[in-house]
Amino acid sequence: MENQRSHRLVLIPPPFQGHITPMLHLATILYSRGFSITLAHPHFNSPDPSNHPNFTFLPFFDGLAGTHISSNNLSNIVITLNATCASPLKELLVGELMKAKVKNEKIACIIYDSSMYFADSVARELKLPTILFQTTSASNLLTYHAFAPLHSKGYLPLRGSGSLDLVPGLDPLRFKDLSVFNLANLDALLQTNAKMLAVTPSLGIICNTVDFLEQPFLDQLRQLYQPSIVNFFAIGPLHMIAEESCSRSSSLLEEDYSCISWLNNQPKKSVLYVSLGSIASWEEKELSEVACGLANSMQRFLWVIRPGTINDVSEWEKSLPEEVKIAIAERGCIVKWVPQGKVLAHKAIGGFWSHCGWNSTLESLCEGVPIMCQPNFGDQRVNARLLSHVWRVGLEWSNIIEKGEIEGAIRRLMVSPEGKEMRQSALKLKQELRVAAIGGSSYDALNRMINNVLSANL
Ligand code: UDP
């Protein structure tokens, strides 16, 4: 262990909650295995160093001052980061190499998020080993590999009525499940995607997933990467493995713990947890339909309305119909941001109305909570399809934000035999995930990956 503490890993996340969280979990796990940890991160959306006193946090210039993250500008942010950050990162790493020399340490590996692909050539220039960290599912990564061939065969952009057709080679995914479906800036995405896939990290790829969850997709990926990248490590769910090493909060927003006291007073499995993660949101006019649907479903609910979704939540609440206000007071709890892991683990939670981000998906699966799927953009439709059609723990519904549709979907998830079946499948998956994470395939992959890093630094 002491010997390894002289091996420093530099991890490079992008400034998005859904990417920072799993990277900090990975850092926590690797710290517990004896490595020293540095987080080199963009200034924008910096993680809170006080939550991780054992790590060194080094911000670098990112050119993102004044940026607001929305689903519309995500690819522009990624393009800006990759165009701007190479020199600042190189300067930072040169400084780290000098410090390491003085401390008799070694920079053993640069672990960069797949969207920070500029880091690969910077590390290569400095002769440092690299690992790419994929925070979305293996299935989603496989779809990235399919875009260029689908484009050249004329499938994309999709025209006409083929949205429900299965994508050749990616069964059960349909064209409408792909992140490129219905996209205004398809060319920009294809270009970024090509750059992202062109990197060849010297020590391999870590994907936050579990072998048995995505076996057919992982098999295809492993075939694709050979022989250019020999190692593909399915190490997940990272938050579950990190729990064993006492993981700390990685939240960029303040977590409101009052919801836990509220949950403590609710019956077992009676509450629907409602959240669209850190980027997706309902429009202001949709919020009232959601409120009416929740109220009419007669179920209890804990609802996250993120800051910035609406100007003044209490003014908006006053404008709701009287019976909806009563339902919120009697059966609801509305908050700005919650400690989601603790919420999903709470015995009062019976279902999750989710945008199906990959972290939320894994967090829900690990707690045996079935999901009412409302995917919005990016990988979310792929995840929703896996939830509903592969693991059978996700409810596919019309996704029409209208109170009657919402009420029906909530009842299906929370009180119908269909929902009960999903809850049972979810509980079974929960057990299987624990086995994989604690002593199974993910544990083995983690050991192989660590051995790889150590061998590369002999
Ligand atoms: N999250 C949270 N509190 C909330 C809502 C979300 O801590 O009130 C966390 C959640 O646990 C997850 C992350 O935010 O780890 C969201 O990541 P995900 O991949 O699900 O979606 P994204 O935000 O990237 O779209």
Q: What is the mean pLDDT of residues 203-212?
A: 97
Q: What is the mean pLDDT of residues 188-205?
A: 93
| 434, burial (CB in 10 Å: exposed 0-12, middle 13-18, buried 19+) | middle
- Ligand 1 atom at shortest distance from the alpha carbon of 251: 7
Say yes or no to pLDDT of 285 above 70: yes
Length of the chain: 458
pLDDT digits over 218-236, tens only? 999 999 987 666 799 999 9
Tell me: do 239 and 317 sit in the same domain: no
Q: Ligand 1 mean position to 5 CA, how many Å? A: 31
Tell me: do 129 and 29 sit in the same domain: yes
Say yes or no to pLDDT of 43 above 90: yes
- Ligand 1 atom at shortest distance from the alpha carbon of 338: 8
Tell me: do 273 and 140 sit in the same domain: no
Say yes or no to pLDDT of 455 above 70: yes
CA dist., res. 257 & res. 338, Å (int): 7
Q: Which domain holds residue 207?
A: 2-250+439-455
Tell me: do 145 and 29 sit in the same domain: yes
What is the per-residue pLDDT for 227?
A: 64
CA dist., res. 24 & res. 11, Å (int): 9
Tell me: do 139 and 37 sit in the same domain: yes
Tell me: do 287 and 262 sit in the same domain: yes
Identify which of 77, 106, 76 has the alpha carbon closest to the alpha carbon of residue 16. 77
Tell me: do 37 and 120 sit in the same domain: yes
Cis, peptide link before residue 307, omega less than 30° from 0: no
- The residue nearest atom 17 of ligand 1, judged by CA position, is 18
Tell me: do 118 and 214 sit in the same domain: yes
SS3 247: coil
- The residue nearest atom 6 of ligand 1, judged by CA position, is 277
What is the per-residue pLDDT for 69?
A: 87
**Residue of higher predicted confidence among 182 and 309:** 309
pLDDT digits over 319-365, tens only? 999 999 999 999 999 999 999 999 999 999 999 999 999 999 999 99
What residue type is assigned to position 448 of the chain?
R
SS3 188: helix
pLDDT digits over 112-129, tens only? 999 999 999 999 999 999
Tell me: do 271 and 322 sit in the same domain: yes
Q: What is the mean pLDDT of residues 389-398?
A: 98
- Ligand 1 atom at shortest distance from the alpha carbon of 336: 8
Q: What are residue 30's phi and psi, to 5 degrees? A: -70, -30
Tell me: do 285 and 326 sit in the same domain: yes
Tell me: do 154 and 298 sit in the same domain: no
**Sign (positive or negative) of CA dihedral 314, 319, 324, 325:** positive
Number of domains in the chain: 2
SS3 15: coil
pLDDT digits over 418-452, tens only? 999 999 999 999 999 999 999 999 999 999 999 99
pLDDT digits over 12-41, tens only? 999 999 999 999 999 999 999 999 999 999
- Residues 38-54, buried b or exposed e (16+ Cβ, 10 A)? bbbbbebbebeeeebee
Q: Which residue out of 16, 17, 281 has the highest number of ligand 1 atoms within 8 Å of its CB and is therefore the one to mutate?
A: 17
- The residue nearest atom 18 of ligand 1, judged by CA position, is 357
Q: Ligand 1 mean position to 19 CA, how many Å? A: 9
Q: Which residue out of 209, 340, 365 has the highest number of ligand 1 atoms within 8 Å of its CB and is therefore the one to mutate?
A: 340
Q: What is the mean pLDDT of residues 284-301?
A: 97
Q: Ligand 1 mean position to 435 CA, how many Å? A: 24
Q: Which residue out of 16, 25, 360 has the highest number of ligand 1 atoms within 8 Å of its CB and is therefore the one to mutate?
A: 360
- Ligand 1 atom at shortest distance from the alpha carbon of 19: 24
Ligand 1 residue neighbourhood (C-beta within 6 Å):
16-18, 21, 251, 275, 277-280, 304, 337-338, 340-341, 357-360, 363
Q: Ligand 1 mean position to 18 CA, how many Å? A: 6
Report the mean per-residue pLDDT for the chain: 94
pLDDT digits over 145-166, tens only? 999 999 999 888 876 678 899 9
| 103, burial (CB in 10 Å: exposed 0-12, middle 13-18, buried 19+) | exposed
pLDDT category at 3 given cuts 50, 70, 90 is low
- The residue nearest atom 11 of ligand 1, judged by CA position, is 340
Identify which of 195, 188, 209 has the alpha carbon closest to the alpha carbon of residue 74. 188
CA dist., res. 179 & res. 455, Å (int): 37
Q: What is the DSSP letter of 226?
A: T
Cut 0.95: pTM above it = yes
Identify which of 388, 400, 393 has the alpha carbon closest to the alpha carbon of residue 350. 393
Q: Ligand 1 mean position to 169 CA, how many Å? A: 30
Query: Per-residue DSSP letters for 165-183?
Result: SBPTTSTT-BGGGSTTTT-
Cis, peptide link before residue 22, omega less than 30° from 0: no
- The residue nearest atom 2 of ligand 1, judged by CA position, is 340
Q: Ligand 1 mean position to 337 CA, how many Å? A: 9
Query: Per-residue DSSP letters for 89-148?
Result: HHHHHHHHHHHHHHTT-EEEEEEEETT-THHHHHHHHTT--EEEEE-S-HHHHHHHHHHH
What is the per-residue pLDDT for 158?
A: 77
Helix ranges, 279-416 (H): 284-296, 313-318, 322-331, 340-345, 358-366, 380-385, 403-415
Residue with tokens 């750059």: 195
Rounded to the nearest 10 degrees, how much is the dihedral formed by the CA atoms of 375, 379, 383, 389?
90
Which CATH number characterizes residue 320's domain?
3.40.50.2000
Cα Rg of the chain (Å, integer) = 22
What is the per-residue pLDDT for 244?
A: 77
Q: Which residue out of 359, 373, 386, 387 has the highest number of ligand 1 atoms within 8 Å of its CB and is therefore the one to mutate?
A: 359
Tell me: do 231 and 301 sit in the same domain: no
What is the per-residue pLDDT for 1?
A: 52
CA dist., res. 306 & res. 308, Å (int): 6
Q: What is the DSSP letter of 213?
A: G
